[in-house]
Amino acid sequence: MREILPVAAAWVRTGRPFAIATVVGVSGSAPRPVGSSMVVSDAGAFGNVSGGCVEAAVYERCLHAVVTGAVSVESYGYSDGDALAAGLTCGGTVDVLVRPVSPHSAAAAEIALLAERDAAGHPARFRLSTAGPTCGIGTVETVDVPGRAADADEIVVEVGAPPRLILVGAVEFAVALARLGGALGHRVVVVDPRDVFANPARFPGADVVVDWPDRYLAATSLDDRTAICVLSHDPRLDVPALRVALASPADYVGAMGSRTTHDDRLHRLREAGVAEADLGRLRSPIGLDLGGSSAAETALSIIAEIVADRRGGSGARLSSLAGPIHAATREPAVVRRVASSVPASAVACASVPSPTTRP
């Protein structure tokens, strides 16, 4: 849902009527998780709910909702009679809720607020009813207040707190990785004590911090949605930063270097008192074996390993594996399914210095 918020908020500001389609239920092999959304108006369509399988049918339903003001939920799946026209040929089923957003409505105000909180990085919950008389009604909640127990038929989407990607060392690999990490929705932070390299102009869209990495990491609240990539190739930066990172809840810690560098780094980390259990968390040499060599290809291998770790993927070729492509893995951190399944049939609803010293 975060992907469509800027467009939807812009339409709210200009008073343009539109509709939002949101995945509210998934079963089997489906390409998009619960919470995935698409917005449609006379200006076009943005976002997606299935990766292309049913977008045309959902687009038409959205246009109908704009005209009629009707809220509806419909299932799309391979077993449907019109599967070839609008179904999921991958074999799964998705339940899609379509709701209109008219100018100056409560729904428009809710979208504007959600987009504002997301853009400002203020965590918020969006609770969307998927059945009954409140079907299609959403509410925005702050996450600093405990939420009420979820009803049987609703989804909860969290925005305003994207996963973080912290890059230690403002090297050329970091430039490519910052760009790719940002494209995947991460809040990217680059930290390096050398201000000549830690130049914000090199890292558009990222937060650039001129400081010793270990000091920055120790003063930052790290959580299990934080990936830390140590790219600096300098033990004066690497070892202290890794000592802090490996003791933190960060869900991914990787370090760049050859196998010789890795062995030397492990020796230094043990001398620094890092426990063997923490050393076992270290992804080094960093990244998956893609055979690439350029900065961009290396960045791709690193971000691929982060995704594989977070989603429980093997990193193997899909063509060499059996079974469903979308295997049961940990759900995305930004979306939690908290409802029972929506009825399978359609349901109509009511409305170059060297860091030799440090301060």
Edge to edge, what strands does the sheet with 138-142 contain? 138-142, 124-129, 154-159, 335-337
Mean pLDDT of 234-245: 94
Of 94 and 279, the structure prediction assigns the larger pLDDT to 279
Distance in angstroms (rounded) separating the CA atoms of residues 26 and 328: 12
In this structure, is the dihedral angle defined by the CA atoms of residues 35, 8, 163 and 298, taken in order, positive or negative?
A: positive
Q: If you average pLDDT over residues 260-277, what whole number do you get?
A: 94
For a pLDDT cut of 90, what percent of the chain falls above it? Answer: 57
As a residue count, the chain comes to: 359
pLDDT in tens, 113-171: 999 988 887 888 889 999 889 999 998 888 766 666 667 788 888 887 789 999 999 99
Residue 226: CB partners within 8 Å, gap ≥ 6?
A: 163, 164, 165, 166, 248, 249, 250, 251, 252
Task: Please give the pLDDT value at position 82.
Answer: 45
**Can you tell me the distance from the alpha carbon of 113 to that of 8, in angstroms, rounded to the nearest whole number?**
11
Quick: pLDDT tens for 274-300: 999 999 999 999 999 999 889 999 999
Q: What is the DSSP secondary-structure string of 173-214?
A: HHHHHHHHHHHTT-EEEEE-S-TTT--GGGSTTSEEE-S-HH
Listed in sequence order, the residues at least 6 apart from 73 whose beta carbon sits closer than 8 Å to its beta carbon are 24, 95, 96, 97, 98, 130, 131, 135, 342, 343, 346, 347, 349
Phi, psi angle pair for 29, to nearest 5°: -90, 100
pLDDT of the residue at 88? 54
The mean pLDDT of 48-57, rounded to a whole number, is 81
**What mean pLDDT is reported for the chain?**
84
Rg (CA), the chain: 23
Return the percentage of the chain with pLDDT > 70, whole number: 82
* Whole-structure pTM value: 0.72
| pLDDT at residue 96 in the model | 93
